[in-house]
Amino acid sequence: MKFIVRFILLAAFFTVMNEPANLRATIEPVVPVKDTVTMVDLGAKSCIPCKMMAPILEELKDEYQGRAEVIFIDVWEDRSQGPRFGIRSIPTQIFYDKQGKEAYRHVGFMGKEQIKKLLDMLLEGK
């Protein structure tokens, strides 16, 4: 009887502990955003260059609101996203034009001015 109770408690514990990860895995971000210039940064919240880019991405989200989408995906939290985007190293930034076609890919830290230059070029249709 003790074995059965322990087994049930252990199974319940693992079910509850894994639920948030299962929910995250089922909600895939829509990338690229339809009819919008999109920049997706694939990294991890605990990666040093990714941490350095986080405030830049937040500024760009505000600056380009309504004109372009800036999306961050943590590939360590959701491991399915790395293979989905063909990621080999983080951070990786992928830029999509308004038609949803990949226009540019960069690996490593990317500064605000570089990102703005690419977003502006894509917004102008170049």
More confident residue, 37 or 21: 37
Catalytic residue among 37, 50, 94, 103: 50
Active site residue 47: yes
Catalytic residue among 33, 36, 44, 47: 47
DSSP state of 95: E
State pLDDT tens for residues 46-78: 999 999 999 999 999 999 999 999 999 999 999
Residue type at position 75: V
Active site residue 50: yes
The answer to the question of residue 9 being in a domain is no
The answer to the question of residue 116 being in a domain is yes
pLDDT value, residue 113? 97
Consecutive H or E run containing 37: strand 37-43
- The pair phi, psi for residue 122, each rounded to 5°, is -70, -35
The answer to the question of residue 100 being in a domain is yes
The answer to the question of residue 16 being in a domain is no
The answer to the question of residue 5 being in a domain is no
DSSP state of 33: P
Instruction: Name the pLDDT band for 11 (thresholds 50, 70, 90).
Output: low
The answer to the question of residue 20 being in a domain is no
What is the span of the domain harbouring residue 107? 37-123
Mean of pLDDT values over 90-116:
97
pTM above 0.75, yes or no: yes
Q: What is the CATH number of the domain that holds 110?
A: 3.40.30.10
The answer to the question of residue 51 being in a domain is yes
The total number of structural domains in the chain stands at 1
pLDDT value, residue 126? 76
The answer to the question of residue 30 being in a domain is no
